[in-house]
Structure 1
C-alpha cells in the first residue's frame, strides 16, 4: 500500500510538472481533452500490447542459453500476462462504447499508473538479463529497451504523463546497470539511451501541446460555427433580410427560405438558376458601379444597397442587394455571398413621401415646392431665361364660404376649383396650389400678352361659375395677377413677387379681374403697406372717429335715431372714409378690433341721447366668425348703460351665406339681450324669403341703388313696393337708404316705407353736431304746424 501510494504521489508530481509545460486548457473542456488523449492511446493499444508480447518472447529466447533463463521465463510470463490483460481491457472498452465524451483527471492518472507499471516491468529487465551477460546480450537488451522507449512514446504521445511514466522506469533501470558496468561500449550505449530519452520526452511534450492546441482551436471553431449558425438562423427567422450566394457563373448556390418567399417560388426552383434569369433589372446603384446586374457580378467587386426591380406574381418588386466576392484557397474567384431585402414597401413609402413633398394632398396639384422648382427651371446656371410667365390667383370670398359652411365644404370647393383650373389651363402651363385658396400657373409657351390675358380671363370666368357642393350652391370668383420674364423680372423670386403685386392690384380694383404687372404697382403696394402700418396704430393713437347719420320717421319726419359710421382722422391724409380702409382692415385681420371699438363707442355716445333715440351699428361677418360677439355686445351695453332696445345691429346679406348653426345661435342670443337686428343692403346680394323667417330680423334696409333709380324705372319702383308690402306682412320695419330728393321721399312715403336715411335729411356728422341738429329738426316740425301727436313726439325727441 505504501509503495502504491508512493508511486501515485510520484506520478501526480510528474503530472503537475508536465502540466506546467502544456498549454492552458479551459476548465469547461478539460474532460473532453483527456477523452481525446485517451482515445488516441486506445487506438494504438493493440499494437503496443502485441509489441510487448513479441519483445518479451525474443528476450526469453535470447536468454535460453544463459544463466538467467528461469528468471527471464518468469519475467516474460508476467509481461505477456500484463499485455494480454491490456488487450482484454481494450476489447471490453470497445464493446461498451460509452456515450460519455469526457474523462476525469483521476481516470487519466489511472492510465498513467498502468503504463508506469508496464514500464517498471521493462525497467527490471536490465537487472535480470544484464548481470554476467555477454556483450551481444547486453546490446540486444539495450536495443530492445530503446525500441520500447520509442514505441511506447509513440503510442502514448498524446498523454505526456503516461508516456513519461512508461519510459522513465525503462531508462532508469537500464542506466543503473549500464553506468555501473565500466564497459566503454555499454557506457556509450548509456549515453545514447539518455539522448534518445530526452529527444522522445521533448517530442512527446511538443506533440501533446500541438494536440491540445488543435483540440482547443477545434472546439472554439465549432463553438463559433454554432454561434454563427444560431445568429444566421435568428437572422433569417426574425429579419426581413435574407441570404444568397452565387458561383463564378452567377448561378445561385444558396438561397434562404425568405428569399424564395420574396421571389414567389420554391428554393429548389431558384437553386442553379442564373441571377440574370430572375428578370432582375438595376433600378438604383451607387455611382461608379456597373449599370446591369450581370455587369456588376462580372466586375467581381463588393457592392452595397444596389436596388433591382423584379417581377413577382405580375407585380414589380424592388430588392436591395449587398454582397462581396468570395475566393477559394488559391485566390480564384468563386462567386458572391451576400444579403438581400425586399424594399418594395419602403420604396412605395418613399415615393409617397416624395409625392407629399411635391404635391398638394387635397387637390392633387403640384405644391409650392414644385412651383418653385418649375419656376427656377426657367433660368439656366448663368441666370439667363428664354422667357416664362407666372399667373398668381386666389379665390374671392373663399374665406366667407369656409367660415360659414365649414371646412368640408371649403375643401370640396378647393378641389372643384382646382379641377376647373387644371381643365382651363390644360397643356399651356403647370398649375400649382401655393396654399389656402392661392394658386399659381407657370407658363413657358406662348408669352404674348393677348394669349396670357385670354388665359387669365378664361380662368376668371371658369372659377366664377356657381358650384354645387353637398346641397349647397356657392358662387365665388377669382382674381389673377400676371408677371412675365424677362420683361418684368430677372430672377424667379422677383417674378413671383411682381405677379403677387399684380394680383393684389386686381383685388384692390374690385376683384373678379386680372391685371398685368406694372412698375407703378410696386409704389402702390408700398403705399398699401404704409396704410396697413398706419391703420394698426390708429386705435392706439385715438385716430378713429364716429360720425352719425340721422334716421327719419316717414310719417312725421321725426328723428328716430342715428347710424354710427366710421371715419379715420389720418395725421397726413386727413379724414379717410370707410371705403378706403374697411376692406383692407378685413384683409389684414384688424376688423374685429375696430368693430369692437365702434360698438363700445357708439353705445357710450348714444347713452347720452334722449330716449328713445336709437343707434345703429354695422357688424362685419368676421365678428361673427370670431365667436365672442355676444359677449362684446353685452359688455358694451353694461358699461355704457344703454338700454338694449335702443341698440340696432345691422348685418349684410353676405353673412347669410354663413348659414351655420353658430351664426344662427349668435343672432338668437343677441335677440335675447333685447337688441334689434336689421338686414342692411337688402336686395343687392343673395336675398331669399327664407332668410326673413329663419333669422330674427326686426328691420330690412333697402339699398341706395334701388332708391336712386326708382324714379325713372317703373320695374324698380314695383320691386320697392313689393319689399315694403313684404315688410308689413312679416311685421318688419322698412328703411330706405340714399334718399336725396323730396320726390324720392314722397314716393317712398306713398309705399308706406317706415324710415328714411339720406342726404335729404342729413349727412353724417360728428357727435358734437347732434344737439344742434336735434334742435333744428324740432324747429322745422314746429314751423310746419304739427298735430298734437307730432308736437308730443317732437317734445320727446
Structure 2
C-alpha cells in the first residue's frame, strides 16, 4: 500500500509493523515523513503529559501522606518528577519543523519512555498500596485511570510509548487485584487498558491517513506550481493561427516579435512565406519547410516539426506543432498551433554531434565518423559496381617525440600531420584520426589502383619530411596498410581488419613503406592467433623445454659450457621453431614469464655441472626493460645455488635502440651481481660501438652469416670478422663464432683468432639428458682434448 495516497471512503489497511515502528513500510520515504509527523505531534503534547504526571504525583503524595513516611513519598515524588521531566525534554528536542524525516529507531525508542513512566507509577501500586486502606487504594486507582486516559490522548501518535505505559500500569494493577482475589476488578482493569490501547492505535491510523493525504496534496501542489513557473519563465513559446488559405490571422505579439516584425506586418501574410524568409523568392526551401507545406496541404496534424527559419538573414531553428480547425459543419477553417525557438538546443546538439564524430585535437573525423564514411563508400561502390579503398596510417618514431619532448609537442606534431594529410586528399578521399598516432583515409572511388598506391606513397613522402616545432626539427615517418573492396572485404569491419593486417606487414618490413592486403596475411594472422592461444598454455602444460648447444674453446676444442635454447613441442602443431614463436611471445607480452622460466631452469641444470662450465641464456629486450629483471636473475641464481660467474646472459643490439631504453642501467645492475654479459648477433643490427663502451661485455658473438660468408671467400665477411676480433682484443673481450658447421670453417675461425666456437660441427642443440652425458664424457680423465 502507498501510504501517500489520499484516504477514500473505504480506508486502506495500515499495517501494524510500520505503525509501531517494528518494520519499514512499502514507501520508505513517505513513512519517514509520517514518523516525523508523529514525533512532532508527541512533541506538541509533551508539556501536557508532564503536567499530568506532576499533578498525579502530587495527588498520590497527599493520599499516602497519613500512611507512609514522608521520606518514601519524597523520594518517589522526585523520581516521578525526574522521569517525567526527562521524557518531556527528550520530546522537546525532536525536530519542530513540519515535514521532517524520522527513522524507525526514533519511533521504536519511545517504548522506553512509556516503560520508564509505567515503572515509576508501578511503585504506588506494588509497594505503597500494601500500607493503606481500601478507600485510599480506590483513590489511587482513580488517579491511575486519569493518567492512563491522559496518556491515550498525549501519547496516541507514539503508539509504542502509549502501549508500554498503559499496558504496564494495567498489568501491575491487575496483578495486585488478582493477589487479593478481586478477579472481576482485574478483568475490568485489563479491559479498560485494552480499550485505551485500541483507541491509541485507531488515532495513530487516522494520523497516518491524514498525513498521507497531506503529502499527496503537497506533492501535487508543488508539481502544478513547478509547471506554472516553467510556463511563466519560458518566453520562447508562442501561438499562431492561419485561415483556410494558410495566411496568418490574429497574429500574436510574441509570434511577430520572434520574426522581428510588427503584428500588422504579419497579419494576412502566408505562413510559409514568413518562415522561408529570403529563400521564398529563390524557392530554395529546407526539407522541414517542405514537410510543413505538405502537412498544411493535406490538412493533417503535426507535432514537433523542426526547421530552419531565417530572421533578417540570421538562421534560427523553430519547433512547430499544429492541428487543423473545423467549424460545426466540418468546414476547414485553418490551423492553430504553437511554436518555440530551439536554436540553443540545436546548437548544443550539433556540438555534441561534432564531439561524437570529430577528433578534438586535430579536427579530423574520428573513428566513429570514419567507420560511417567507409560504410557509405562501400554502399556506393557496390551500387555502381566499383571499388573503394581504406588506408590505415601509423606514424613511425612518434613515441620518441612524446618521450623526449613531452606530450604538448607531440600534440602539436599530430596537428601538423593532420594538416599535411588534409592538403593531400581531394574530394574523392576523406581523412580521419583513429586515435593515438593512427590515421586513416577513405577512398570512395578506388577503381584506379595505381592512383591509390600513388596517394599512399605521397602520404609517406609528405609525412616523412621534417617538422619545425618550437625550434625543434623533428623527423618521423609513416607506414600504411591498404585494403580494397570488395576483394579485401565487403563490410567496413572486414576492410579495416584487412588494412590493419597490411599495416602490420608494413611495420614488420621496417616501416616507411605501404603494403597492400594479401589473403595470406589473414592466414598468417589466424595462425598467429591460434598459436598465441596455445602458447599461453604451454608453460602450464609443460610443453616448453630447453636444449643445450655446446660451446668449445677454439684452440683446444675443450667443452666450456652450453647455450640454453628454448624449444616448444605442441601436441597439435608439433615442433614449432623458435623463429616463429619467440616473436609471437614478445608481441603477446608472454616473453617475460617464459624468459623467467628459461632462466630458472637453465640455472638449476647448470648447478649440477662441473664448476668451470658456464650456461648462456638469451634475454629478450622486453625483459631488460622490466625493473624487476635484476631481482629475477638474483633469485634464479640463489634458488639454484649457481655462482653468478657461471651465468652468461646474451643480449642483442635491439635491446639498446628501443625508445626510452633503460637496458643499460639494468645490465649494469646485473653485471654488479657478477654475471657475465655477451653481445649476441654482433654486426647484423645497428652495430654502434657506443654499446661496447657503455656496457661491460665479456664476450661478443659473431653471427653465422659472417662465418659462412668468410668460408666462401667473401672479403667483406673476412674483413668484418678480423675487425671484430681486433676490436674485442683491444677491449679485453672474448669472441665466439656461431654457426661453425665444417672443418674448413673451423680452421678459418681459428686462423682469424676467435676465442670460442659454437655450431653443428661440435654438436647440435641437445636434450638435457644428452647434454649431461656429453659433459660427463668431456670431464673424464681419459677424455680426449676434443669435445
TM-score (norm 2): 0.54
Shift of 1:495: 4.8
- Alignment partner of 2:609: what SS? coil
Structure label with greater radius of gyration: 1
Change (3 A) 1:386 1:324: closer
User: Residues 255 and 270 of structure 1 are in contact (CA less than 8 Å); yes or no, is this contact kept in structure 2?
Assistant: no
Change (3 A) 1:598 1:758: same
Give RMSD over aligned pairs: 5.6
User: Residues 322 and 339 of structure 1 are in contact (CA less than 8 Å); yes or no, is this contact kept in structure 2?
Assistant: yes
User: 5 Å matches for 1:641-656?
Assistant: 641-656=641-656
Change (3 A) 1:288 1:556: same
Supply the distance in 1 between the matched residues of 2:504 and 2:619 (Cα, whole angstroms).
25
User: Residues 317 and 342 of structure 1 are in contact (CA less than 8 Å); yes or no, is this contact kept in structure 2?
Assistant: no
User: Residues 389 and 446 of structure 2 are in contact (CA less than 8 Å); yes or no, is this contact kept in structure 1?
Assistant: no
Change (3 A) 1:480 1:246: closer
Residues 332-363 of structure 1: CA deviation (Å, up to 9, x unaligned) = x999998866845x655544432333334555
User: Residues 488 and 498 of structure 2 are in contact (CA less than 8 Å); yes or no, is this contact kept in structure 1?
Assistant: yes
Supply the distance in 2 between the matched residues of 1:764 and 1:445 (Cα, whole angstroms).
55
User: Residues 390 and 496 of structure 1 are in contact (CA less than 8 Å); yes or no, is this contact kept in structure 2?
Assistant: no
- Alignment partner of 1:765: what SS? coil
Supply the distance in 2 between the matched residues of 1:743 and 1:469 (Cα, whole angstroms).
57
User: Residues 483 and 495 of structure 1 are in contact (CA less than 8 Å); yes or no, is this contact kept in structure 2?
Assistant: yes
1:607 aligns with 2:607: yes
Supply the distance in 2 between the matched residues of 1:740 and 1:419 (Cα, whole angstroms).
56
1:756 aligns with 2:760: no
1:594 aligns with 2:597: no
Shift of 1:548: 1.8
Q: Which residue of 2 aligns with 1:30?
A: none
Q: Which residue of 2 aligns with 1:566?
A: 566
Supply the distance in 1 between the matched residues of 2:448 and 2:563 (Cα, whole angstroms).
51
Residues 443-476 of structure 1: CA deviation (Å, up to 9, x unaligned) = 3424355555565666677778899999797777
Change (3 A) 1:495 1:302: closer
User: Residues 378 and 385 of structure 1 are in contact (CA less than 8 Å); yes or no, is this contact kept in structure 2?
Assistant: no
User: Residues 549 and 758 of structure 2 are in contact (CA less than 8 Å); yes or no, is this contact kept in structure 1?
Assistant: yes
Structure 1: runs of 5 or more not aligned:
1-227, 328-332, 786-793
User: Residues 245 and 254 of structure 1 are in contact (CA less than 8 Å); yes or no, is this contact kept in structure 2?
Assistant: no
The alignment covers a number of residue pairs equal to: 543
Change (3 A) 1:372 1:706: same
Change (3 A) 1:624 1:355: farther
- Alignment partner of 1:538: what SS? coil
User: Residues 390 and 482 of structure 1 are in contact (CA less than 8 Å); yes or no, is this contact kept in structure 2?
Assistant: yes
Q: Which residue of 2 aligns with 1:370?
A: 369
Supply the distance in 1 between the matched residues of 2:477 and 2:556 (Cα, whole angstroms).
43
Structure 2: runs of 5 or more not aligned:
1-223, 242-246, 267-272, 280-284, 326-332
Change (3 A) 1:650 1:300: same
Shift of 1:747: 5.3
- Alignment partner of 1:667: what SS? helix
1:765 aligns with 2:763: no
User: Residues 558 and 785 of structure 2 are in contact (CA less than 8 Å); yes or no, is this contact kept in structure 1?
Assistant: no
User: 5 Å matches for 1:241-252?
Assistant: none
User: Residues 778 and 784 of structure 2 are in contact (CA less than 8 Å); yes or no, is this contact kept in structure 1?
Assistant: no
Supply the distance in 2 between the matched residues of 1:413 and 1:613 (Cα, whole angstroms).
54
User: 5 Å matches for 1:381-530?
Assistant: 386-391=385-390, 393=392, 395=394, 408=407, 429-434=429-434, 440-447=440-447, 478=479, 480=481, 482-485=483-486, 487=487, 491-496=491-496, 525-530=525-530
1:357 aligns with 2:356: yes
Change (3 A) 1:242 1:355: closer
User: Residues 556 and 785 of structure 2 are in contact (CA less than 8 Å); yes or no, is this contact kept in structure 1?
Assistant: no
- Alignment partner of 1:549: what SS? strand
Change (3 A) 1:640 1:752: same
TM-score (norm 1): 0.53
Q: Which residue of 1 aligns with 2:631?
A: 631
Residues 315-334 of structure 1: CA deviation (Å, up to 9, x unaligned) = x7755567989x9xxxxx99
Supply the distance in 1 between the matched residues of 2:381 and 2:426 (Cα, whole angstroms).
30
Supply the distance in 2 between the matched residues of 1:706 and 1:358 (Cα, whole angstroms).
55
Supply the distance in 1 between the matched residues of 2:419 and 2:728 (Cα, whole angstroms).
43
Shift of 1:544: 1.0
User: Residues 614 and 647 of structure 1 are in contact (CA less than 8 Å); yes or no, is this contact kept in structure 2?
Assistant: yes
- Alignment partner of 2:483: what SS? strand
Deviates more, 1:242-251 or 1:366-375: 242-251
Shift of 1:515: 6.2
Q: Which residue of 2 aligns with 1:225?
A: none
Shift of 1:654: 2.2
- Alignment partner of 1:388: what SS? coil
User: 5 Å matches for 1:691-770?
Assistant: 691-695=691-695, 697-710=697-710, 712-742=713-743, 744-745=745-746, 748-749=749-750, 752-770=753-771
Shift of 1:542: 0.9
Change (3 A) 1:718 1:477: farther
